[in-house]
């Protein structure tokens, strides 16, 4: 295959995320072409795999029974290797892709893993044969001298299984050298291997020792024997002798299904609760400092001993805007001298029992100013005592940090305090949206339009929370509100029209309907007294010229003629749509030119790409600006002057709190031919990739008519040139194809071309797409669900400004996609927990926006499958909307465990989960269901397989921000806190282990720390180890030469969910048949097996 070339190291990829639009992609590892002795797959020159090697290292490195990680020349590891070694004189095989790494850990005998003797499917370069780590006719060593019987261990007396016979044909392509996809774990029968009559044993043998103890219910004080292995804090049992399984002849291997399995209709329920373990201490590593945090200490020493909680029932309960005035009128009538707090929905809290006793009803009349006549509305209100809340529960919870009591968060008490504190800013009249308050633009600041009919409103967020002490979290907030203007202007903005007389498509009308439905508008005919009305929009109708009706049972007439004859008004835009307004039964349709949106209407809808970019640009303020806005919001709220806050006995310290922090040392990021990488705080220059493959057959497809052939040729040359700088050989582009996107059968045309190129052995297709439309999703569906070929999409605008730095960023993805390895942590920086077989898992569940009720949620799981924690694969599932628990997690983990074993020849001894998207109120529910699912997956594969599980929740959607107090702690031009800043005291949970970590160097605005909360830990990982592991994983994201804001497993889970969501774009999944949709939209299985990182 391709010869490894060393190019002169020049400027690598620019620091930052790749500029291409593809969320995901990389190219092929160049390796020497000599046959390799005793290795599995492709290695570096002179590489040797002994008893258990998993990975590649530097020349001269050896892995003996127990090597842990990469070493420098001449370095040796003992007792169970997890890394890649090289040894002078060893020959390398030719297979593309990652080697299925062989050999056990901790002195275990080999598991008898063999490849099937069946001929594998030919890949892009058909007809070639690959030696699977063995010389022809030789027996694989696996840490033993040839011909010797394997040393007796847990499986005494078993004979080591031989590797494949010579001449076995191997699939070519990005992942050559892999075993068949259907390799099962042991308690399943396996097809006969190359040695006829010998039973192939895969995975874990029944009766093998547990590598992690059965977890204790409390998550702490586990009675484990300490391990003699220096990098492992986990105990182990004495190893029993394994009992050989009974052979069953000719059992075919169980197939690993790469696509989504059918969705379970019900989420797991009635799971046993797992108590979240206590923290044992706090972290100690790093340079100590202090930072300011946007949390205000609360003095609750004078807090009322009891809070009275009342249920409020209002009939009718709409319009919502009347609820607060109705309750205010009720308090005025019946609670004179009292200052209770109303949450705007159904809950009323009082510091004293209200004077009417336990229940009181009344009828209240409100004036609807939106109506000219019949504007009085009658409401029936009943206020009833629900419970008395003992506020001493707050003190007991705060003291649990020292007493060790396992107490739940006093949620009802802190909610009452939160509602009382929210009464203060309401006095100034902002628009409340959830926990935030927004101020209408008053002309003093320039109004920022976000596009698509939205304008930006500034505001602030607040929430009372209990940490080591009580705080009020205050932060700035931003939200897009519909512009209060004529609906014709809104139509033009939503549909991106320069003029209302421009042509528009039916899709534009659908966009307009999605925007205006549920919004209120004022309707008025010019020069017509008493014509003003306020309506709520519930649909969009035909144009006035085409919409006909029968007024007062008379002859049929168009809306245009009706307004001209009856209303004496000539409609100016007869071809624009109408809006249908409440009540729907009356079929009232209004010309949009006579309708104006009312101000201050919040939309709970997802912003599009352009609106998001405009929002980020406007909201991204440096720390000093953000801090100033927060302090202004605090002064505006005037908490301590609020009669409600005073009556409850709450005092707010209106100065930002100062908390202890530490700045962790950054790791060294290692590239090829680097023996001692320097620590890189947050960003670095790329060197030659640790592992890359020759890209010999690649193609360019252009779907943008503006991009000329010369530009595509220039790009192909630039990509090859930049590839040399990164140690990657890229041959001349095989073919460039320009497609006519005006064709009605463009999808079929793209699919046919991709099939043709796949037949020619395509290793990569670069696709240039326009910046608009659904071309990205169309390409990904064709390439990954139907054809099975790698693609890298690049937006046309990126192609126009292509430069070497942008090319380098694209190659970061291309190399990862084609099973290369861009970089790794230097050996001295590798966290100890990675010195044994560990699977790192990222889990993410993405939900549709609140207005998208017919779109399913997507659950995605990304899991590592190499010793350096760089390479991942993904599995996704569809489930019912808003379902947070991963319903099919057990089957997903079974697949991931099998894939890990295929790649590493080892089962994970530890599983570390980074779970994204879980709120604190869901902790117990998610932990109970998903921890059980992971355990059941392990024991399904083998009864006694119980690896230690560590389960952390990753939380990004919070409002905690840090502000540096010392000039030496300021990072970059924005003067943020530096990467590695960690806080695990004061503003964290008083009893459980959680911490805030800033792991990235922010390019704009104020850095947002990521919060991590440990929910379970069988592995007894210390606070320092867990914090350093989490930080260092942020340096292993393949797509940029910067540390990212949360760990690579979580990032990959997010990308996997995004890719699944891409498959659903313009391809809706029916909620009543998600199983059928999943079966028809599986990722092409061979493609997914051979290129598992296709989604990056």
Structure tokens at 357: 């006793």
Instruction: Note the pLDDT tens digit of each residue in 587-618.
Output: 899 999 999 999 999 888 888 888 999 999 99
CATH of residue 832: 3.30.420.10
- Per the CB < 8 A criterion, the answer to whether 969 and 978 are in contact is yes
Domain boundary, last residue among 390, 408, 436: 390
- Per the CB < 8 A criterion, the answer to whether 548 and 542 are in contact is no
Query: How many CA atoms lie less than 13 Å away from 697 in the CB half-sphere?
Result: 17
Concatenated DSSP letters of 669-719: EE-TT-SSPPB-SSB----S-SB-B-B-SEEEEE--TTS-HHHHHHHHHHH
- Per the CB < 8 A criterion, the answer to whether 890 and 933 are in contact is yes
Dmax over CA atoms of the chain, in Å, equals: 104
- Per the CB < 8 A criterion, the answer to whether 344 and 430 are in contact is no
Binned at pLDDT 50, 70 and 90, residue 979 comes out as: very high
Selected residue with higher pLDDT from 131 and 676: 676
pLDDT for residue 176 is more than 50? no
- Per the CB < 8 A criterion, the answer to whether 151 and 109 are in contact is yes
- Segment 208-224 shows an average pLDDT of 35
Binned at pLDDT 50, 70 and 90, residue 1075 comes out as: confident
| Residue 178, phi-psi category: left (phi > 0), alpha (psi -120 to 50), beta (remainder) | beta
Torsion (CA) 861, 862, 867, 870 in degrees, nearest 10:
-160
Q: Which residues contact 507 (CB under 8 A, 6 or more apart)?
A: none
DSSP 8-state symbol, 426: G
Region of poorest pLDDT, from 7-16, 702-711, 802-811:
7-16
Binned at pLDDT 50, 70 and 90, residue 1080 comes out as: confident
- Residue 1077 and residue 954 share a domain: yes
Binned at pLDDT 50, 70 and 90, residue 304 comes out as: very high
- Per the CB < 8 A criterion, the answer to whether 1020 and 1014 are in contact is no
Domain boundary, last residue among 787, 822, 857: 822
- Per the CB < 8 A criterion, the answer to whether 987 and 793 are in contact is no
Amino acid 532: pLDDT: 87
pLDDT, mean over the chain: 80
CATH of residue 381: 3.30.70
Three state DSSP letters for 551-604: HHHCCCEEHHHHHHHCCCCCCCCCCCCEEEECCHHHCEEEEHHHEEECCCCCCC
pLDDT for residue 185 is more than 60? no
Selected residue with higher pLDDT from 428 and 976: 976
pLDDT for residue 205 is more than 70? no
- Segment 753-759 shows an average pLDDT of 98
pLDDT for residue 975 is more than 80? yes
- Segment 224-245 shows an average pLDDT of 38
- Segment 45-67 shows an average pLDDT of 35
Amino acid 373: pLDDT: 66
136 in a structural domain: no
Selected residue with higher pLDDT from 838 and 584: 838
Instruction: Note the pLDDT tens digit of each residue in 98-109.
Output: 433 333 333 343
Tokens 């059941």 correspond to 936
Query: What does the alpha-carbon distance between residue 210 and residue 204 come to, in Å, rounded to a whole number?
Result: 10
858 in a structural domain: yes
Selected residue with higher pLDDT from 216 and 712: 712
CA angle 43, 44, 49 (to 5 degrees): 55
Query: What does the alpha-carbon distance between residue 588 and residue 559 come to, in Å, rounded to a whole number?
Result: 11
Amino acid 428: pLDDT: 66
952 in a structural domain: yes
Binned at pLDDT 50, 70 and 90, residue 422 comes out as: very high
553 in a structural domain: yes
Tokens 């001269």 correspond to 60
- Coil vs helix vs strand at 1017: strand
- Coil vs helix vs strand at 969: helix
CA nearest 896: which of 1095, 1092, 1096? 1092
Structure tokens at 1006: 């104020």
Q: Say if strands 838-846 and 910-916 run parallel, antiparallel, or are unpaired.
A: parallel
- Residue 1065 and residue 968 share a domain: yes
- Segment 1031-1058 shows an average pLDDT of 97
Angle between helices 487-494 and 506-516 (to 10 degrees): 120
Three state DSSP letters for 876-907: EEEECCCCCCCCCHHHHHHHHHHHHHHHHCCC
Structure tokens at 213: 């103890």
pLDDT for residue 840 is more than 50? yes
- Per the CB < 8 A criterion, the answer to whether 479 and 436 are in contact is yes
- Per the CB < 8 A criterion, the answer to whether 684 and 846 are in contact is no
- Residue 849 and residue 741 share a domain: no
Selected residue with higher pLDDT from 896 and 921: 896
Other Cβ atoms closer than 10 A to 434: 11
Amino acid 244: pLDDT: 37
- Segment 267-290 shows an average pLDDT of 81
Query: What does the alpha-carbon distance between residue 365 and residue 1077 come to, in Å, rounded to a whole number?
Result: 52
Q: Using CA of residue 638, residue 639, residue 644, residue 650, what is the dihedral sign?
A: negative
- Segment 1062-1077 shows an average pLDDT of 89
Query: What does the alpha-carbon distance between residue 355 and residue 334 come to, in Å, rounded to a whole number?
Result: 7
pLDDT for residue 484 is more than 60? yes
Concatenated DSSP letters of 279-291: P------SEEEEE
Query: Which helix (DSSP H) or strand (DSSP E) does residue 941 occupy?
Result: helix 923-941
Prediction pTM value: 0.77
DSSP 8-state symbol, 151: P
Q: Using CA of residue 97, residue 100, residue 103, residue 106, what is the dihedral sign?
A: positive
- Residue 762 and residue 907 share a domain: no
Residue 695's DSSP bridge partners are: 730
CA angle 1038, 1042, 1044 (to 5 degrees): 80
- Residue 866 and residue 800 share a domain: no
Instruction: Note the pLDDT tens digit of each residue in 433-474.
Output: 989 999 888 766 788 999 999 999 999 999 999 999 999 999
State residue 620 phi and psi, 5-degree precision.
-75, 95
Structure tokens at 61: 């490195």
Amino acid 372: pLDDT: 62
Selected residue with higher pLDDT from 908 and 87: 908
235 in a structural domain: no
Amino acid 651: pLDDT: 98
CATH of residue 715: 3.40.50.2300
CA nearest 864: which of 839, 882, 888, 881? 839
- Segment 244-273 shows an average pLDDT of 40
Tokens 């590892």 correspond to 29
- Residue 767 and residue 899 share a domain: no
Amino acid 263: pLDDT: 40
pLDDT for residue 1089 is more than 80? yes
Query: What does the alpha-carbon distance between residue 391 and residue 351 come to, in Å, rounded to a whole number?
Result: 11
- Per the CB < 8 A criterion, the answer to whether 891 and 928 are in contact is no
Query: What does the alpha-carbon distance between residue 382 and residue 327 come to, in Å, rounded to a whole number?
Result: 10
- Residue 805 and residue 712 share a domain: yes
402 in a structural domain: no
Amino acid 23: pLDDT: 40
State residue 235 phi and psi, 5-degree precision.
-85, 175
Q: Which residues contact 440 (CB under 8 A, 6 or more apart)?
A: 431, 457, 599, 600
Three state DSSP letters for 1041-1084: CECCCCCHHHHHHHHHHHHHHHHHCCCCCCHHHHHHHHHHCCCC
- Segment 846-869 shows an average pLDDT of 91
Domain count, the chain: 4
Binned at pLDDT 50, 70 and 90, residue 999 comes out as: very high
Amino acid 890: pLDDT: 98
- Per the CB < 8 A criterion, the answer to whether 234 and 909 are in contact is yes
Amino acid 728: pLDDT: 96
Cβ-count burial 638-651 (b if 16+ within 10 Å, e if not): ebeebebbbbbbbb
Binned at pLDDT 50, 70 and 90, residue 139 comes out as: very low
Amino acid 530: pLDDT: 84
- Residue 855 and residue 770 share a domain: no
- Residue 828 and residue 813 share a domain: no
Amino acid 112: pLDDT: 34
Query: What does the alpha-carbon distance between residue 866 and residue 572 come to, in Å, rounded to a whole number?
Result: 66
116-125, 210-219, 293-302, 527-536: range with highest mean pLDDT: 293-302
The share of the chain scoring above pLDDT 70, in percent, equals 74
- Residue 991 and residue 905 share a domain: yes
Binned at pLDDT 50, 70 and 90, residue 264 comes out as: very low
Amino acid 775: pLDDT: 95
Residues present in the chain in total: 1096
Query: What does the alpha-carbon distance between residue 799 and residue 796 come to, in Å, rounded to a whole number?
Result: 5
- Residue 841 and residue 804 share a domain: no
- On the 0-12 / 13-18 / 19+ scale of CB atoms within 10 A, 277 is buried
pLDDT for residue 31 is more than 70? no
Residue 364's DSSP bridge partners are: 379
Domain span at residue 363? 306-390
Structure tokens at 833: 């927990």
- Segment 846-857 shows an average pLDDT of 85
- Residue 310 and residue 322 share a domain: yes
DSSP 8-state symbol, 365: E
Q: Say if strands 62-63 and 76-77 run parallel, antiparallel, or are unpaired.
A: parallel
Selected residue with higher pLDDT from 501 and 861: 861
Q: Using CA of residue 722, residue 727, residue 728, residue 730, what is the dihedral sign?
A: positive
Amino acid 143: pLDDT: 37
Amino acid 371: pLDDT: 67
Binned at pLDDT 50, 70 and 90, residue 852 comes out as: confident
Q: What is the CA radius of gyration of the chain?
A: 32
Structure tokens at 88: 């002078």
Instruction: Note the pLDDT tens digit of each residue in 353-366.
Output: 999 999 999 999 99
CA nearest 86: which of 141, 54, 43? 43
Amino acid 425: pLDDT: 85
Residue 76's DSSP bridge partners are: 62
- On the 0-12 / 13-18 / 19+ scale of CB atoms within 10 A, 588 is middle
CATH of residue 587: 2.170.260.10
Strand segments, DSSP code E, in 105-213 are: none
Domain boundary, last residue among 822, 850, 866: 822
503 in a structural domain: yes
1016 in a structural domain: yes
Query: Which helix (DSSP H) or strand (DSSP E) does residue 449 occupy?
Result: strand 449-451
Selected residue with higher pLDDT from 673 and 18: 673
Amino acid 427: pLDDT: 67
């Amino acid at each position: 295959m391709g010869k490894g070339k060393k190019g002169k190291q020049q400027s690598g990829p620019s620091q930052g995320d790749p500029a291409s639009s593809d969320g995901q992609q990389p190219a092929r590892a160049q390796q020497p072409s000599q046959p390799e002795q005793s290795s599995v797959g492709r290695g570096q020159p002179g590489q040797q795999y002994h008893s258990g090697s998993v990975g590649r290292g530097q020349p001269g490195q050896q892995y003996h029974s127990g090597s842990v990680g990469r070493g420098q020349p001449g370095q040796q590891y003992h007792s169970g290797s997890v890394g890649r070694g090289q040894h002078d004189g060893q020959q390398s095989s030719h297979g593309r892709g990652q080697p299925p790494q062989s050999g056990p850990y901790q002195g275990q005998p080999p598991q008898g893993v063999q490849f099937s003797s069946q001929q594998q499917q030919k890949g892009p370069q058909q007809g070639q044969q690959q030696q699977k780590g063995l010389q022809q006719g030789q027996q694989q060593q696996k840490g033993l001298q040839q011909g010797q019987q394997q040393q007796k261990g847990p499986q005494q007396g078993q004979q080591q299984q031989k590797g494949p016979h010579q001449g076995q044909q191997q699939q070519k392509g990005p992942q050559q050298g892999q075993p068949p996809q259907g390799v099962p774990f042991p308690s399943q029968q396996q097809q006969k291997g190359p040695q006829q009559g010998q039973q192939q044993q895969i995975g874990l043998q029944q009766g093998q020792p547990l590598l992690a103890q059965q977890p204790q219910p409390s998550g702490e004080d586990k009675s484990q024997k300490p391990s003699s292995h220096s990098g492992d804090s986990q105990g182990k049992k004495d190893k029993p002798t394994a009992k050989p399984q009974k052979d069953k002849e000719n059992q075919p291997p169980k197939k690993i299904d790469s696509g989504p399995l059918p969705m379970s209709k019900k989420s797991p329920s009635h799971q046993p609760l797992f108590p979240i373990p206590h923290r044992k201490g706090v972290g100690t590593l790093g340079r100590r400092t202090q930072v300011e945090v946007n949390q205000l200490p609360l003095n609750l020493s004078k807090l009322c001993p009891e809070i009275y909680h009342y249920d409020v029932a209002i009939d009718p309960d709409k319009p919502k805007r009347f609820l607060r005035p109705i309750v205010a009128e009720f308090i005025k009538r019946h609670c004179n001298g009292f200052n209770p707090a109303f949450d705007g929905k159904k809950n009323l809290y009082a510091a004293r029992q209200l004077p009417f006793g336990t229940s009181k009803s009344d009828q209240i009349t409100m004036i609807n100013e939106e109506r000219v006549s019949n504007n009085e509305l009658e409401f029936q209100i009943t206020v009833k005592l629900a419970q008395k809340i003992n506020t001493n529960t707050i003190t007991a919870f705060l003291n649990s940090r020292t007493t060790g009591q396992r107490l739940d968060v006093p949620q009802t008490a802190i909610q009452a305090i939160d509602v009382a504190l929210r009464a203060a800013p309401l006095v100034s009249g902002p628009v409340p949206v959830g926990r935030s308050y927004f101020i209408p633009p008053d002309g003093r600041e320039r109004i920022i339009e976000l596009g698509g009919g939205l304008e930006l409103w500034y505001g602030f967020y607040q929430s009372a929370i209990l940490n080591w002490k009580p705080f009020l979290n205050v932060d700035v907030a931003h939200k897009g509100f519909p512009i209060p203007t004529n609906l014709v202007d809104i139509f033009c903005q939503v549909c991106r029209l320069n003029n209302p007389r421009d042509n528009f498509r039916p899709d534009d009308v659908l966009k307009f309907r999605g925007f205006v439905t549920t919004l209120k508008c004022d309707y008025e005919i010019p020069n017509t007294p008493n014509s003003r009305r306020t309506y709520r929009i519930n649909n969009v109708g035909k144009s006035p010229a085409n919409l006909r009706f029968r007024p007062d049972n008379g002859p049929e007439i168009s809306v245009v003629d009706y307004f001209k004859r009856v209303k004496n008004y000539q409609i100016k835009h007869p071809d624009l749509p109408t809006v249908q307004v409440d009540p729907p039964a009356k079929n009232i349709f209004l010309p949009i030119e006579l309708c104006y949106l009312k101000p201050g209407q919040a939309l709970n809808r997802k912003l599009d790409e352009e609106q998001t970019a405009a929002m980020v640009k406007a909201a991204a303020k440096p720390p000093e600006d953000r801090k100033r806005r927060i302090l202004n919001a605090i002064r505006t709220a005037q908490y301590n002057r609020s009669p409600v806050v005073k009556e409850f006995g709450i005092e707010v310290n209106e100065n930002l709190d100062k908390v202890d922090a530490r700045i962790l040392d950054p790791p060294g990021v290692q590239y090829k031919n680097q023996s001692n990488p320097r620590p890189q705080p947050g960003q670095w220059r790329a060197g030659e990739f640790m592992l890359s493959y020759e890209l010999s057959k690649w193609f360019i497809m252009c779907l943008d008519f503006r991009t000329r052939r010369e530009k595509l040729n220039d790009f192909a040359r630039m990509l090859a040139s930049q590839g040399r700088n990164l140690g990657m050989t890229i041959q001349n582009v095989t073919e460039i194809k320009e497609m006519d996107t005006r064709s009605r059968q463009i999808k079929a045309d793209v699919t046919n071309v991709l099939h043709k190129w796949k037949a020619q052995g395509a290793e990569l297709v670069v696709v240039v797409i326009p910046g608009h439309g659904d071309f990205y999703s169309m390409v990904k569906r064709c390439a990954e669900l139907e054809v099975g070929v790698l693609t890298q999409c690049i937006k046309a605008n990126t192609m126009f400004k292509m430069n070497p730095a942008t090319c380098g960023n694209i190659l970061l993805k291309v190399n990862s996609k084609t099973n290369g390895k861009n970089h790794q942590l230097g050996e001295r920086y590798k966290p100890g927990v990675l010195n044994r077989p560990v699977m790192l898992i990222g889990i993410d569940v993405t939900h549709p926006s609140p207005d998208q009720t017919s779109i399913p949620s997507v659950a995605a799981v990304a899991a590592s499958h190499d010793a350096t924690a760089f390479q991942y694969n993904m599995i996704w599932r569809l489930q019912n909307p808003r379902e947070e628990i991963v319903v099919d997690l057990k089957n997903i983990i079974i697949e991931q465990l099998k894939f890990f074993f295929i790649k590493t020849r080892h089962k994970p001894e530890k599983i570390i989960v980074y779970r994204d998207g879980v709120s604190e109120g869901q902790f117990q529910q998610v932990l109970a269901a998903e921890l059980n699912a992971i355990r059941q997956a392990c024991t399904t594969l083998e009864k006694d397989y119980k690896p230690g599980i560590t389960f952390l929740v990753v939380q990004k959607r919070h409002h905690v921000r840090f502000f540096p107090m010392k000039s030496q702690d300021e990072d970059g031009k924005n003067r943020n806190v530096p990467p590695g800043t960690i806080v695990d005291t004061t503003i964290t949970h008083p009893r459980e282990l959680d911490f805030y970590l800033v792991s990235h160097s922010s390019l704009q605005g104020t850095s947002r720390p990521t919060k991590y909360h440990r929910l379970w830990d069988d592995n007894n990982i210390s606070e320092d180890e867990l914090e350093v592991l989490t930080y260092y994983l942020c340096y292993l994201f393949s797509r940029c030469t910067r540390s990212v804001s949360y760990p690579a497993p979580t990032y990959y889970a997010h990308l996997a969910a995004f890719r699944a969501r891409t498959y659903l774009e313009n391809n809706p999944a029916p909620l009543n048949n998600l199983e059928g949709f999943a079966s028809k939209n599986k990722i092409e299985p061979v493609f997914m097996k051979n290129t598992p990182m296709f989604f990056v």
